[in-house]
Structure 1
Amino acid sequence: MQGMSERQYASHVGLSRGAIQKARMSGRLVLHADGSIDARASDARRASMTDPSKQRRDGAEAKLKPVPDAALSAVGDTLRESGIAPSPAGGGTTFLQAKTANEVLKAQERRLRLQRMKGEVIDRARATALVFRLAREERDAWANWPARIAALMAAELGLEAHAMQKVLETHVRAHLADLAEVATDFR
């Protein structure tokens, strides 16, 4: 036999024989022509193919690889938003921190989806369109108000209806111009 048997390799890496059989079936082991296991090559292949979060730790926690710089700011922002302190600047983000940030984002997404299903959250574009439509209707109602009410007010006050309408329109339009300066921001 050129290499190790499943039992020998299991003892070598500290796993069960069943785990070694699963690794063999999934192609994570390198085999010699006689079917025995090439220990050195199999160790390297298993290390490269195994998710670090699923590896066993012997006593002290093994050193985790840093996450690429492109993802650091997003991970840091997510961790800060959830109340978890990210690594100090320049220290790199560990796989565990990135995985934690991913889980936090998934939980936030699920909560948002549930709130939408319950009707507690609405679409921003839809809300903006609704507010715009309501504001336009309100503006139009106020712009038409002097024409409807001027004759009644003029009769009560004993004034000319046309002059009353002109004064009311001037003041209503000035007030609407002031209101138009208010900007809504749904951020």
Structure 2
Amino acid sequence: MEGLSERQYAARVGLSRGAIQKAKAAGRLVLHADGSIDPDASDARRAESTDPSKTRKPPAPKRKPVPEAAVSAVGDTLKEQGLAAPATGGGTTFLQAKTANEVLKAQERRIRLQKLKGELIDRARALALVFRLARQERDVWVNWPARVAALMAADVGVEPAAMQKALEKHVRSQLDDLAEIQPDLR
């Protein structure tokens, strides 16, 4: 056999055997004397005689560009786990992205489990609790000079009103300093 069989040529050009048989019957293929198909000459003849608008081309896959934030998030996740992260601007391989995805899923499951076990608390609830406790402590300190000024004045031998005024001044100064402290609950 000098050329290719119908099956071989169909596999080479990505068409069905029936389509090759139709092209052969229509004279769009070049045949050798033994009936086998001359692949190069047949490709050229098919290209000349085939209307390009009638050909079926596989649609090009539509790929969206990956945002840089997503790529950096993959890199951060991989670095947190001690794995190789992509170079900046070098792109991420599919394997790296898949690894990061699996790591994130495992972290999410761990957090969900900790929440179910009661080991984690709601952030908003924790902030509200811290604020309430700080407010209660502040109120106790604001009222403290009025409660102890007379006792301290008697111990030291000074006027109770002057002692209360001095204590209030220093307590308020201390509370102002404490108010500048911002808790970092990250």
TM-score, normalisation: structure 2? 0.61
Matched letter for residue 123 of structure 2: R
Q: How far is the alpha carbon of 1:148 from its aligned partner?
A: 0.8
Counterpart for residue 79 of structure 1: 78
Per-residue CA distance 1:12-45 (angstroms, 9 max, x = gap)? 9xxxxxxxxxxxxxxxxx9999xxxxxxxxxx79
Q: After superposing the two structures, state which structure 1 stretch, 135-144 or 120-129, moved more.
A: 120-129
Are 1:145 and 2:144 an aligned pair?
yes
Counterpart for residue 115 of structure 2: 116
Aligned with 1:93: secondary structure?
coil
Answer whether contact 1:67 1:92 (CA < 8 A) is retained.
no
Q: How far is the alpha carbon of 1:120 from its aligned partner?
A: 2.1
Counterpart for residue 165 of structure 2: 166
Answer whether contact 1:67 1:94 (CA < 8 A) is retained.
no
Contiguous gaps of at least 5 residues in structure 2: 1-5, 19-57
Q: How far is the alpha carbon of 1:67 from its aligned partner?
A: 8.9
Q: How far is the alpha carbon of 1:94 from its aligned partner?
A: 2.1
Counterpart for residue 175 of structure 1: 174
Per-residue CA distance 1:31-72 (angstroms, 9 max, x = gap)? 999xxxxxxxxxx79xx8xxxxxxxxxxxxxxxxx9943232
- The aligned runs of 1:17-56 (5 Å cut-off) are none
Counterpart for residue 69 of structure 1: 66
Contiguous gaps of at least 5 residues in structure 1: 5-11, 13-29, 34-43, 49-65
Q: How far is the alpha carbon of 1:138 from its aligned partner?
A: 0.5
The structure whose Rg is larger is 2
The answer to which structure, 1 or 2, has the higher relative contact order (CA under 8 A, 6+ apart) is 1
Aligned with 1:69: secondary structure?
coil
CA distance in 2, matches of 1:69, 1:130: 41
Count of matched residue pairs:
132
Answer whether contact 1:87 1:93 (CA < 8 A) is retained.
yes
Cα RMSD, aligned residues only: 3.0
Identity score, percent: 66
Counterpart for residue 135 of structure 1: 134
CA distance in 2, matches of 1:142, 1:166: 14
CA distance in 2, matches of 1:152, 1:122: 43
CA distance in 1, matches of 2:17, 2:118: 61
**72 and 134 in structure 1: CA distance in 2 versus 1, 3 angstrom threshold:** same
CA distance in 2, matches of 1:186, 1:126: 12
Answer whether contact 1:75 1:98 (CA < 8 A) is retained.
yes
